[in-house]
Amino acid sequence: MKSTNFLKTAFLLGGVASLSAQITVIRDSVEMGAGYANQVYYSLQGGEVGTAPAASWHLAFEIPIRGAAIRANHARGVTVYQTSKDTNGWNTLSLSDTVARLYNNTCRWEVGALNQTASSGNPFDVGWGNYDLITHITTGDSLYIIGLPGGSFRKLWIQRLQGTTYYVRVANLDGSGDTLYEVNKTAASGRNFIYLNLLTKQVLNLEPANTAWDVVFTPYLELLPPNGTPYPVTGVLQNLGVKAARVRLSSSANPDTLTPSAYTLDSCASTIGYDWKRFDMASNSWILADTLYFLIRDKGGNLWRLRFVGFTGSSTGKAVFEKALLQTATALGERASTTQPQVYPQPAREGFFLHVPETSAEVELWTLTGQLLFHQDLLGDEAVFLPRPNHLPSGLYLLRIRTRNGLWTRNVTFE
């Protein structure tokens, strides 16, 4: 359900001690349907922007730039197993070759189940294959077994990502039904992922444009502490480029007096997560954590406060919440841009300037042999000076820059 009115505020946050008279709260809700049948995409400013059947896909393939993440629909019964065989063992692959079960990372969209085996010391290893800096082709070197809802299994080989196309080979374990899929990113341009249904053999465009939504209400699989036990949950995941923070207040605290700058916003996709509600067996009802608030920086740079006030469970999948706009992007001087990052001067001596025209970015410097030299989070779109690491020899290095609009790699030369 979309908001009944569009929220406007007439203040700028900054140096204001109390805002209780200035904040307008809007109540809104979304419905995922019985059994959480749908994924619901939501914009904090505009309301619901799209839905997709939660069980309509089995694998999701990352779209932006050189993204190579492949995620599995664990919440709808898809399982992924690493095997001991390389691609030469395709014809003889069986369940006896499985060595580990693999799961999506719920914090980082770019780490799906098929990316979990990537080497942490090699930026060109994506798990299912390796990226070649010369040909720009990511070639698959691993075989997987994937379990589908209903108990059937398939063997899976991501043969390569060449240009904008993933080449995917799938067959039954006995070799029958051997099928080659071509999953082209351009079929869902402007989205985060494009989807594949292995039963209907359809490539699906399910998401709204990645600039249109901030969070998705969805079932997903969480690895619960302390032992990482996989458990299906229903909750809220943030879009790329959206950051959030959890704020727990006392029952007597006035949320309108909280200071947003006192909290660090996190880009982890599951910061909002699922545990803002719990099921109470004694009362046979859902209990909301009514002193738990979320601060959310949306895709446009606006800052919101959100609190959940109702949940119906699997009967209708309805979540009710209150939202309030605390800061506008205009007030912060923020703006989004798709202009590519700039690195200068080149070659460099003491360091170099990096200009990423985005509100935030993650930056890593790597050696050509796969050694990580530094990782840094950047905020704002001003040029930032990055000094040369101590005792770093002259030569060619790789700068990897990730923003909400994609992933870039730049050559950096030190004299």
**281-293 pLDDT, tens digit each:** 999 999 999 899 9
**301: how many CB neighbours lie within 10 A of its CB?**
19
With a cut of 80, say whether residue 265 has pLDDT above it: yes
Per residue in 188-197, pLDDT (tens digit) is 999 999 999 9
Kindly state whether residues 147 and 217 are assigned to the same domain.
Answer: no
- pTM of structure: 0.79
- pLDDT band (50, 70, 90) for residue 336: very low
**Residue 330 pLDDT grade (very low, low, confident, very high; cuts 50, 70, 90):** low
Indicate if the alpha-carbon torsion angle 323, 324, 328, 332 is positive or negative: negative
Same-domain status, 42 and 64: no
Tell whether 3 is covered by a domain.
Answer: no
Whether 149 and 234 map to the same domain: the answer is: no
What mean pLDDT is predicted for residues 306-323? Answer: 98
Q: How confident is residue 44, by pLDDT bands cut at 50, 70 and 90?
A: very high
pLDDT in the model for residue 2: 42
Write the CA distances from 92 to 11, 87, 88, integer angstroms: 66, 10, 9
> Could you say which of 274, 305, 332 is where a domain stops?
332
Domain of residue 106: give its range. Answer: 59-204
Reply yes or no on whether the pLDDT at 11 is more than 60.
no
- 353 pLDDT tier (thresholds 50, 70, 90): confident
Model pLDDT for residues 109-136, shown as the tens digit of each residue: 999 999 999 987 788 999 999 998 889 8
**Is the pLDDT score of 389 beyond 80?**
yes
Whether residues 199 and 73 fall in one domain? yes
User: pLDDT-based confidence at 9, cuts 50/70/90?
Assistant: very low
Question: Quick one: pLDDT at residue 8?
Answer: 35
State CA 205 to chain mean position distance: 17
Interatomic CA distance for residues 240 and 220, integer angstroms:
17
**pLDDT at residue 118, rounded to an integer:** 93
Shared domain for 64 and 44, answered yes or no, is no
The total number of structural domains that make up the chain = 3
Which of the residue ranges 103-107, 313-317, 348-352 would you say has the lowest mean pLDDT?
348-352
* Long-range contacts at 377-382 (CB < 8 A, ≥ 24 apart): 378/354, 380/334, 381/334, 381/335, 381/337, 381/355, 381/356, 381/357, 382/355
Last residue of a domain, one of 141, 171, 204: 204
Last residue of a domain, one of 272, 297, 332: 332
Question: Quick one: pLDDT at residue 21?
Answer: 43
Assign 3-class secondary structure to 14-40.
CCCCCCCCCCCEEEEEEECCHHHCEEE
Q: Could you tell me if 150 and 225 lie in one domain?
A: no
Confidence tier at 17 by pLDDT (50, 70, 90): very low
